[in-house]
Amino acid sequence: MTANAFIAFQKNEESRAIVEAIVEDNPGAIVVEQPAMVKVDVPGRLVIRRATVEDKIGRSFDLQELQIHLITISGHLDETDDEFSLSWLS
Amino acid sequence: MDMKVDKKLGLKERYALMTRDLAWETTYQPMDKVFPQVTYEGIKIHDWNAWEDPFRLTMDAYWKYQAEKERKLYAILDAFNQNNGHLSVTDARYINVLKLFLGSTPPLELMAARGFTNVGRHMVGAGPRVACLMQAVDEYRHFQTQVHSISNYNKYYNGMNEFAHQQSRMWYLSDGKSFFDDAITAGPFEFMVAIGFAFEYVLTNILFVPFISGAAYNGDMAAMTVGFSAQSDEARHMTLGLECIKFMLEQDPDNLPIVQRWIDKWTWRGTRKLASVGMMMDYMLPKRIMSFKEAWEMYFEQNGAALFNDLARYGVKVPKCFVQTVAEKEHVTHQSWIGFYMKPDSTPFHTWIPEKDELDWLSEKYPNTFDKYYRPVLEHFDAQEKSGNRFNNKTAPMNCQVCISTIKFNDPDDPMKTLIRSKTYKGEKFHFCSLHCEEIFDAEPEKYIQAYISSHQVLQGNCAPEGVDTTAPDFEPGAHIAAYWRLDKAATGDFNGSEDQANFAAWRRQATSN
Amino acid sequence: MTVAALAPYEFASRDRLENFHGKQLVYVWWEKHRMFSRPFVVALTPATPFRRLFEDYISTYAWHPDWPHIVWDQVIWQNGDEVFTPDFDASLAQNGIGHKDLIRFSTPGLDGIAGTGY
Ligand SMILES: [Fe+2]
Ligand SMILES: [Fe+2]
Ligand SMILES: [Zn+2]
């Protein structure tokens, strides 16, 4: 069984758009809402694409802005200008 | 020379220019004299440039985003305070969780800041140095913002004003202090495994995610905004810890056994430290979102298993304590609460027996253990309190020589028995709460024989307030302990009948009626 | 093993006997009565009669409803893992109780509140 990579955000308008983008780009994403926060699990690899977030949020978006809303992550991180990914190799 | 970095550069180029290119090989002094601490632990590094922060965060971007986080945070704090937010928490018992948090957490954030400042100085590569610098600044920020958010409560409720004095003196704060003292007096690589990896990556999720979400659920916007703002830095801290582990393991196969010993040690020390955090979730939040057991399963067992399976390719094994922590998740929070409940004179926060519906919740969440071991004794305490015989164990505790927890955890094979392990080292007896603590002692006995155990300090006559003659023939160790701790009498005792309880009720009445 | 360090690493134990000014530490624990959470510690001179340890300190366990039901001649006393029979009129030293020894006692048939070990 592949382990889940996950990410959690504080609940707000920006993270709502980010979570929508994750759901669109990651088939199999599981969204769990908890008080004041939202956690998204994806088996194996979770990717956040800048282009999709920009589409949802309606403005240009720097992936490093994610950090303002981040709560926690699980998985090996790789970040470029266009993609932010978390993955487990096994 | 124009030092402005071209904004059109990609993230990778910008990171290379603004981080790695800032380092140089020293010439006036050899590198090993400038960086004396990176070798003596036995960790072998061949190429420091192989270290890269996967966030690729540069200092300029760091300041920009951190400033934005602070602006958001203080706007929320101001709004909360201006609106008498303290009266919007579920009930006044909740405030006691803040008192325990204030004593135990901000001082450790400060220690983390010191530790990362030190490690940032000693790491050779610019990658880890810059990441450690950012983390050090983050940890100062966590310390400050936590104190700021709670300072508003301090205007209204008892027990918060002496947390800094109490941190290095009070019995129940010694375990956390010992955790960081142990880490900070280790070498830079062990510190990184202790705090960056075991604490940040493997364990802080429990402290900051379900617990802070729980604070939000209980109407505490101040703790919520501070907790989540801190946690937004934690993703970076976790990444640094995991990066350090991978870096050591990739650099040289000889590093594996050393790293494994540290993973075993620090996962266990962190687990012991978290028993009281779990207790805050199960007993001190009037509205509960998940039990400690559920949080442990989600964030330690599942997430930890994913992590350790992944690291297996380097030869890393699941920490030795894993099995024991899984068995203990059903017990530790109840044992911790009993440990605090029975000492009403010795904490600057109140304790209580949960209401019936809360006991029912615990029965439901802990079907294997709560009714069998814990509910009857809590109901006994409750009946005694109601008949004017509130439990008050006035004796001084026995502590584990390594983790400094009071020795209160059960034998893994028999929940009715307390596990106490003992051994003699250089003619003196030492006692431990667990096999894991004993093994940590065995690896470095010279370190742990120096442990600060507060009840022993009292009995040595070292805990008297200024002006008391400890050499006087009638001096009685322990007689002045409340004054030594600067423990406000009004902050102690059962919640029922406390000043906080009465004030909160009166103020809430004022706020909701004419 | 020893501590990896850049300089000689040797320190005295913080809780060595001489730091207690003529007294020694004794820990006490009543097995299967975990409502007291953990063993307690006291500092006494080695010449202190065992009876004083009992009457002044061990008796604080009397808050437990099992206490009046203890059949004292059936109690099993241990110093660490060793079973022993304390002589109440002899001193700690004469009873072989040294610095930081753990005195534990079991009361057969009494297993705490509702048999929970508490
Ligand atoms: Fe922190
Ligand atoms: Fe951190
Ligand atoms: Zn321990």
Smallest CA-to-CA distance from B446 within C70, C4, A2 is with C4
Smallest CA-to-CA distance from B382 within B409, B351, B406 is with B351
Alpha carbon of B491: minimum distance to chain C alpha carbons (Å): 22
Provide the pLDDT for residue B6.
55
Does a structural domain hold residue C12?
no
Residue A80: its chain B contacts at CB < 8 A?
A: 10-12
Q: Tokens standing for B1? A: 């020379």
Q: Tokens standing for B269? A: 């020390």
Please report which ligand is nearest the Cα atom of B143: 1
Is the distance from CB of B152 to CB of B82 less than 8 angstroms? no
List the Cα angle B427/B428/B431 in 5-degree steps.
Answer: 140
The helices-and-strands tally (H runs, E runs) of chain C is 1, 5
What's the domain count of chain A?
Answer: 1
Distance between CA atoms of B397 and B478, rounded to whole angstroms?
12
Does a structural domain hold residue C44?
yes
pLDDT in tens, A39-88: 999 999 999 999 999 999 999 999 999 999 999 999 999 999 999 999 99
Distance between CA atoms of B272 and B394, rounded to whole angstroms?
24
Separation of B112 CA from ligand 2 center, angstroms?
8
Q: How confident is the model at residue C11 (pLDDT cuts 50, 70, 90)?
A: very high
Place of tokens 């004003």: B161
Is the distance from CB of B172 to CB of B466 less than 8 angstroms? no
Q: Which domains does chain B have, with CATH numbers?
A: 37-464+482-512 (1.10.620.20)
Alpha carbon of C4: minimum distance to chain B alpha carbons (Å): 6
Residue C29: its chain B contacts at CB < 8 A?
A: 398, 418, 420
Distance between CA atoms of B400 and B410, rounded to whole angstroms?
13
**Is chain A adjacent to chain C, meaning 3+ CB pairs within 8 angstroms?**
no
Smallest CA-to-CA distance from B224 within B97, B350, B331 is with B97
Q: Find how far residue B123's CA is from the centre of its chain.
A: 25
The answer to whether residue B302 neighbours chain A at the CB level (below 8 Å) is yes
**Is chain B adjacent to chain C, meaning 3+ CB pairs within 8 angstroms?**
yes
Mapping DSSP onto H, E and C, the string for chain A reads CCCEEEEEEECCHHHHHHHHHHHHHCCCCEEEEECCEEEEEEECEEEEEHHHHHHHHCCCCCHHHHHHCEEEEECEEEECCCEEEEECCC
Separation of B137 CA from ligand 1 center, angstroms?
10
Provide the pLDDT for residue A89.
81
Does a structural domain hold residue C9?
no
Report how far apart, in Å, the C-alpha atoms of B273 and of each of B96, B108, B150, C39 are. 19, 12, 22, 20
Q: Residue C51: how many CB atoms within 10 A of its CB?
A: 14
The contacts of residue A81 (CB under 8 Å, 6+ apart) are: A50, A63, B10, B11
Record: contact B234-A72, CB cut-off 8 A: yes
Q: For residue B470, what is the nearest residue in chain C, using CA coordinates?
A: C21
Mutation target vs B (from A68, A72, A76; most B CBs, 10 A cutoff):
A72
Q: Residue B502: how many CB atoms within 10 A of its CB?
A: 11
Q: Residue C74: how many CB atoms within 10 A of its CB?
A: 11
Q: What is the CATH number of the domain that holds C44?
A: 3.10.20.560
Record: contact B416-C112, CB cut-off 8 A: yes
Smallest CA-to-CA distance from C33 within C69, C87, C9, C82 is with C69
Mutation target vs C (from B382, B434, B460; most C CBs, 10 A cutoff):
B460
Smallest CA-to-CA distance from B421 within C81, C12, C37 is with C81
Please report which ligand is nearest the Cα atom of B196: 2
Record: contact C102-B431, CB cut-off 8 A: yes
Residue C8: its chain B contacts at CB < 8 A?
A: none
Q: What are phi and psi of B177, to 5 degrees?
A: -60, -45
> How many CB pairs (< 8 A) connect B and C?
151
- For the cut 70, the answer to whether the pLDDT of residue A90 exceeds it is no
Q: What are phi and psi of C106, to 5 degrees?
A: -115, 145
For residue A31, the enclosing domain spans 4-87
Is the distance from CB of A69 to CB of A15 less than 8 angstroms? yes
Residue C59: its chain B contacts at CB < 8 A?
A: none
Distance between CA atoms of B429 and B441, rounded to whole angstroms?
12
Picking from A3, A65, A72, the nearest residue to B306 by CB comes out as A3
Q: Are strands C101-106 and C24-30 parallel, antiparallel or unpaired?
A: parallel
Record: contact B459-C43, CB cut-off 8 A: yes
Record: contact B209-A72, CB cut-off 8 A: yes
Is the distance from CB of A47 to CB of A87 less than 8 angstroms? no
What's the domain count of chain C?
Answer: 1
Distance between CA atoms of B402 and B81, rounded to whole angstroms?
41
Is the distance from CB of B270 to CB of B112 less than 8 angstroms? no
For residue C46, the enclosing domain spans 17-115
Residue B335: its chain C contacts at CB < 8 A?
A: 34, 37
Across A44-82, b (16+ Cβ under 10 Å) vs e yields bbbbbbbebbeebbeeebebbbbbbbbbbbbbbbebeee
Residue A35: its chain B contacts at CB < 8 A?
A: 213-214, 216-217, 289
Alpha carbon of B216: minimum distance to chain A alpha carbons (Å): 6
Separation of B140 CA from ligand 1 center, angstroms?
8
Residue C2: its chain B contacts at CB < 8 A?
A: 444, 446
Q: Tokens standing for B40? A: 């003596």
Mutation target vs C (from B32, B416, B462; most C CBs, 10 A cutoff):
B416
Does a structural domain hold residue C1?
no
Residue B305: its chain A contacts at CB < 8 A?
A: 3
Mutation target vs C (from B258, B342, B372, B429; most C CBs, 10 A cutoff):
B429
Is the distance from CB of B360 to CB of C102 less than 8 angstroms? no
The answer to whether residue B224 neighbours chain A at the CB level (below 8 Å) is yes
Q: What is the CATH number of the domain that holds A33?
A: 3.90.56.10
Which chains are within 8 Å of A by 3+ CB pairs?
B
Bridge partners (DSSP) of residue A73 are A7
Bridge partners (DSSP) of residue C27 are C41, C102
Separation of B264 CA from ligand 2 center, angstroms?
20
Record: contact B307-A67, CB cut-off 8 A: no
Picking from A8, A64, A88, the nearest residue to B310 by CB comes out as A88
The answer to whether residue B210 neighbours chain A at the CB level (below 8 Å) is yes
Distance between CA atoms of B82 and B99, rounded to whole angstroms?
21
Please report which ligand is nearest the Cα atom of B199: 2
Report how far apart, in Å, the C-alpha atoms of B219 and of each of B91, B224, B408, B444 are. 9, 9, 33, 45
The contacts of residue B512 (CB under 8 Å, 6+ apart) are: none
Do the interacting molecules here have an ipTM over 0.90? yes
Alpha carbon of C113: minimum distance to chain B alpha carbons (Å): 6
Picking from A36, A72, A78, the nearest residue to B205 by CB comes out as A72
Q: Find how far residue B208's CA is from the centre of its chain.
A: 10
Report how far apart, in Å, the C-alpha atoms of B384 and of each of B284, B377, B379, B390, B393 are. 21, 10, 9, 6, 14
Report how far apart, in Å, the C-alpha atoms of B473 and of each of B311, B423, C21, C25 are. 61, 34, 12, 19
pLDDT in tens, C56-93: 999 999 999 999 999 999 999 999 999 999 999 999 99
Smallest CA-to-CA distance from B431 within B416, B448, B447 is with B448
Distance between CA atoms of B455 and B170, rounded to whole angstroms?
9
Distance between CA atoms of A42 and A58, rounded to whole angstroms?
25
- Written as tens digits, the pLDDT of chain B (514 aa) is 455 555 578 888 988 888 888 888 999 999 999 999 999 999 999 999 898 888 889 999 999 999 999 999 999 999 999 989 999 999 999 999 999 999 999 999 999 999 999 999 999 989 999 999 999 999 999 999 999 999 999 999 999 999 999 999 999 999 999 999 999 999 999 999 999 999 888 888 887 788 888 999 999 999 898 998 898 898 899 999 999 999 999 999 999 999 999 999 999 999 999 898 899 999 999 999 899 999 999 989 998 888 999 999 999 999 999 999 999 999 999 999 999 999 999 999 999 999 999 999 999 999 999 999 999 999 999 999 999 999 999 999 999 999 999 999 999 999 999 999 999 999 999 999 999 999 999 999 999 999 999 999 999 999 988 888 888 888 888 889 999 999 999 999 999 999 999 999 999 999 888 7
Q: Are strands B396-397 and A76-79 parallel, antiparallel or unpaired?
A: unpaired
Q: What are phi and psi of B489, to 5 degrees?
A: -55, -40
Provide the pLDDT for residue B1.
46
Q: For residue C110, what is the nearest residue in chain B, using CA coordinates?
A: B416
How long is chain A? Answer: 90
Alpha carbon of B107: minimum distance to chain A alpha carbons (Å): 22
Provide the pLDDT for residue B23.
86
Provide the pLDDT for residue B20.
81
Residue type, C48: T
- Classified as helix, coil or strand, B12 is helix
Record: contact B397-C112, CB cut-off 8 A: no
Q: For residue B206, what is the nearest residue in chain A, using CA coordinates?
A: A72
To the nearest 10 degrees (0 to 180), the angle between helices B332-341 and B375-386 is 20
Record: contact A3-B310, CB cut-off 8 A: yes
Separation of B5 CA from ligand 2 center, angstroms?
29
Does a structural domain hold residue C49?
yes
Q: Enter the pTM of the model.
A: 0.95
> How many CB pairs (< 8 A) connect A and B?
95
Bridge partners (DSSP) of residue A87 are A45, A76
Q: Tokens standing for A62? A: 């720097």
Distance between CA atoms of C89 and C68, rounded to whole angstroms?
22
Beta strands in B278-373 (DSSP E): none
